[in-house]
Amino acid sequence: MIFNRFYKDIGVDLGTANSLVYVKGRGIIINEPSLAAINNKTSQVLAIGEEAKKMVGRTPSHITVIRPLLNGVISDFEMTQEILRNFFKKANQNNLFSYFRAVVGVPTNLTEVERKSVEDAVVSAGAAKSFIIEEPLAAALGARLPIDEPTANMIVDIGGGTTDIAIISMAGTVTAKSLKVAGDKLTDDIIKFVRDEFKLAIGEPSAEELKIVIGSAIPVEEKLELAIRGRDMATGLPREVVVKGAHVRVAITKSLRQIIDAVKESIEIAPPELVGDILKHGIYLCGGGSLLRGIDDLISKEISVKTSIVDDPLTCVARGTGIAAENIDGYSNIFATALRPANLNV
């Protein structure tokens, strides 16, 4: 088609924590937090993405930094639309025409209404048409797993708001489970632990730093510790404490246990032949949560199945939506429809 050169289809990983945009022929060109800063007095959008993240926990009362997606679901339609419009504008700077189709990754447990709101937000933000793909399927595609073959591909996508677990065979989801325990929950666990253990109030950015710098799922040989500053709960004055890796591990143990139990449940209801395939091929981890030290070893030990982290796990879903966007007609069979796999929502 002669007009194909004038527009680029795009892939969108619309995440609770970060949103990524893949442009056909160019790859991932946007990877920014799903945040917007609003002036409550004028309703003006002051910043989006990275600029808004710098303001978290540091704004005056008339400015609010909001995350319009909660557990992978749109909680603020207008702000989601605003963020998408901003990202699409950045992605489309050099094009003469603004016609493009978008392939969007969503969690597996969304209702039809929630999926429709995602589609509407994408179209309202400027896309001519939107196609929905479930995130585990997009992740498997991005990890270059043989999803078309009659064999099990088990993927665990630990994102910001949700952990999506799926067993995929023949380009379809056989069993799927989505739970609202992921990176954000681990951060909340750390905030609560520091408050209870050290009587120190810290914000989300500080807890996130603890999780990334010294967090681990299993005991590690190296001595990990980090000095963190916050507000003393007793005096209300600033105070600094040194948090050890073992403290963070204790804080997040319960949430990690929920993820492992969900992986077990997904395997338990899978057809026996596919369970045999999982033992042979292993479990694949992706998403930001898979970067937690030792989480692959913990799952491998608990499930007794080889567990590995895919290459570049943070961009795996975005790469998958991008691969689908490169050939929308060819991948039309994997886009989400009203048919649902066996679902185990938590």
Comparing 69-73, 183-187, 247-251, 313-317, the range with the smallest average pLDDT is 69-73
> Using 50, 70 and 90 to split pLDDT, how confident is the model at 172?
confident
Cβ count within 10 A of residue 40? 11
Mean pLDDT value across residues 205-223? 92
Q: Are 143 and 286 in contact (CB under 8 A)?
A: yes
Mean residue pLDDT across the chain: 89
Residue 26: name the closest of 290, 326, 288, 346 by CA.
Answer: 326
Q: Are 198 and 251 in contact (CB under 8 A)?
A: no
Q: Is pLDDT of 126 > 90?
A: no
> Using 50, 70 and 90 to split pLDDT, how confident is the model at 339?
very low
pLDDT score, position 338:
44
Q: Is pLDDT of 344 > 60?
A: no
% of the chain exceeding 70 in pLDDT:
93
Q: Which domains does the chain show, CATH number per domain?
A: 2-35+68-138+317-343 (3.30.420.40), 145-181+258-310 (3.30.420.40), 183-251 (3.90.640.10)
DSSP 8-state assignment for residue 25? T
pLDDT score, position 7:
62
Q: Is pLDDT of 161 > 90?
A: no
Q: Is pLDDT of 217 > 70?
A: yes
Find residue 131's DSSP bridge partners: 103
pLDDT score, position 6:
54
Question: What single-letter amino acid sits at 67?
Answer: R
% of the chain exceeding 90 in pLDDT:
58
Query: CA torsion angle for 209, 211, 213, 215 (degrees, to 10)?
Result: 160
Question: What single-letter amino acid sits at 73?
Answer: V
Residue 263: name the closest of 298, 227, 211 by CA.
Answer: 298
pLDDT score, position 96:
45
Mean pLDDT value across residues 229-257? 95
Tens of pLDDT, residue by residue over 78-121, are 999 999 998 888 887 766 456 788 999 988 878 888 888 989 99
CA distance 75 to 16: 10
Cβ count within 10 A of residue 31? 18
